[in-house]
Structure 1
């Protein structure tokens, strides 16, 4: 698994967008006081359940891999000229 440029920023954006998606879908809310690990797991499992991302292989479902999947997902959703996708 190769780390993406700006992966931390991409994960933060994925959690923000994922929280909005979850709220609009009516499945729950991501609270600001929730730990990062809980937010990552919630958004990852919601996106897998809705078939928006492919699930990780059995035994590979851990926080770093979920964060990477979320970063990949949001990088495909953002416009090509988004600042998080720029090479620096």
Structure 2
């Protein structure tokens, strides 16, 4: 698993976009007290359920791997001229 440039910032953006996606789908909204781990796990599972990303292999669904999957997902969604893609 090769780390992306700006992976931490990409994960933050994935959480933001994932929150909007979940709200538009009507399946939930994050509260200010929700931990980043809970947000990451929820968004990852939602995207897997909606078949927008491939699930991780059984036993490999730990937080660092989920963060990496979310970073890859948002990286593909961003336009080519976005600052996080540089």
TM-score range for the pair, normalised by the shorter chain length: over 0.9
> Any gaps of 5 or more consecutive residues in structure 2?
none
Instruction: Tell me the SS of whatever aligns to 2:68.
Output: helix
Deviation (angstroms), 1:30: 1.5
Give the TM-score, by structure 2 length. 0.98
Task: Count residues in correspondence.
Answer: 86
Cα deviation per residue 1:39-86 (whole Å; 9 max; x = unaligned)?
Answer: 000000000000000000011000000000000000000001100011
Q: Taking structure 1 as the reference length, what is the TM-score of the superposition?
A: 0.95
Structure 1: which 5+ residue stretches go unaligned? none
What SS is found at the alignment partner of 2:61? coil
Aligned to 1:64: 64
Give the match for residue 31 of structure 1.
Answer: 31
Task: Tell me which residue corresponds to 1:2.
Answer: 2
In the other structure, the counterpart of 2:42 is 42
Residue of structure 2 equivalent to 1:11 = 11
1:75 is aligned to 2:61: no
CA RMSD across the alignment: 0.6
